Amino acid sequence: MINSQLEHDYAKALAALINAGVWDPIEDLQAIMSKHFSSGVLPDSKRLASFRQDVADRCARTPLGHILGYVDFADLRFVVGSGVFVPRVQSMAIVQWIEQNLSLDDRSTVYDLCAGVGAIGLAIWSRTSAKVVCVEIDAIAQIYLKRNIQRLNNDGPGVTLCEADITQIEAFESVRGSADVIVSNPPYVPQDTVLLPEWGVHHPATAIFAPDEGTALIEASARLANSLLKPCGTLLIEHGESQEQQVGSILEVHGFSSICTFVNEHFSDATGPSVTTVGTKV
């Protein structure tokens, strides 16, 4: 009887998720199922009610990470929740490019600008042993970032949080010219753009949208990177597919050469392409 009820709820939930326009209903449903009905756990009425509520939330297009309380990225599990940006697989292109093209070790320094919950920075640290500074200004994101650093780095010296605004370059004067690599996944969507509800409604607007046709914090990242990087240091910025020329021009203006934009098909998905521009400080 219990199994029959669960099978009925599963079928009903899948139909509801499909009808709601969720782009990966089967995978999302399996993740929600695993949250409530792990191996050996009986699907009692209380668990079924919680399961149904989570399905309803996902049908309302609440991000899956906010429902689960975590997201997996680069073989690491990050704590996330309402009020913070949920890391996307698209950002793995930055991590992979660094692994394949740079030789970083524990003597290297990386700055992760607009770090959010720390996914890119912590992934780079875990795979290269480089010292990583995660720069974040949002108070809610800082809470999750601190938790993720503590959980994954055990508060060791490898990863630190810098509570700062990347547009205030004077705050970084003491570390000028100290970085080997700068990475940034800033808010880059032009204001008033209509997005899927997961981002347009349920994510904090400051983590998604930016002024100047979405390029304001891209420019701030490039300007700060020019100050922080050692000569021949590397800057990687994630951005929208239509912004390639704008980003290339911004990097050139701020003293970067060998500028190249690439689309990583492996890390692109139904929510959009993975687009990154790389430049070298002159």
Q: What is the DSSP string of 158-212?
A: TEEEEE--TT-GGGGGGGTT-EEEEEE----EETT----HHHHTSS-GGGTEETT
* pLDDT greater than 80 at residue 28: yes
Q: Which residues pair with 281 in a beta bridge?
A: 256
In a domain, 69, yes or no: no
Q: Are residues 109 and 171 in the same domain?
A: yes
In a domain, 49, yes or no: yes
The dihedral region occupied by 245, where left means phi > 0, alpha psi between -120 and 50, and beta the remainder, is alpha
CB under 8 Å to 30, separation ≥6 — which residues? none
What percentage of residues in the chain have a pLDDT greater than 90?
91
Averaged pLDDT, 215-242: 98
Structure confidence by residue, pLDDT tens digits, 104-143? 999 999 999 999 999 999 999 999 999 999 999 999 999 9
Range of the domain at 268: 84-281
Q: Which of 229, 247, 249, 228 is nearest to 238 (CA)?
A: 247
Averaged pLDDT, 264-270: 95
Domain stops at, among 17, 45, 60: 60
Tally the domains of the chain: 2
Note the pLDDT of residue 5.
79
Q: Are residues 140 and 7 in the same domain?
A: no
In a domain, 56, yes or no: yes
Residue 37 CA to residue 28 CA, distance in Å, equals 14
Note the pLDDT of residue 43.
79
Question: Which tokens hold the place of 114?
Answer: 């607009």
Averaged pLDDT, 93-105: 98
Q: What is the pTM of this model?
A: 0.95
Q: Are residues 27 and 125 in the same domain?
A: no
Note the pLDDT of residue 45.
86
In a domain, 77, yes or no: no
CATH code: domain of residue 128 = 3.40.50.150
Q: Are residues 267 and 173 in the same domain?
A: yes
Instruction: Quote the mean pLDDT of the chain.
Output: 95
Question: Which tokens hold the place of 89?
Answer: 């697989």
Averaged pLDDT, 150-161: 88
DSSP string, 83-150: TSPPP-GGGHHHHHHHHHH----TT-EEEEET-TTSHHHHHHHHHH--EEEEEE--HHHHHHHHHHHH
What percentage of residues in the chain have a pLDDT greater than 70?
98
Structure confidence by residue, pLDDT tens digits, 173-195? 999 999 999 999 999 999 999 99
In a domain, 160, yes or no: yes
Q: Are residues 49 and 146 in the same domain?
A: no
* pLDDT greater than 70 at residue 40: no
Q: Are residues 46 and 162 in the same domain?
A: no
In a domain, 71, yes or no: no
Q: Are residues 266 and 165 in the same domain?
A: yes
Q: Which of 253, 251, 235 is nearest to 243 (CA)?
A: 251
Note the pLDDT of residue 213.
95
Q: Which of 20-29, 41-50, 251-260 has the lowest mean pLDDT?
A: 41-50
* pLDDT greater than 80 at residue 1: no
Q: Are residues 41 and 148 in the same domain?
A: no
More confident residue, 6 or 185: 185
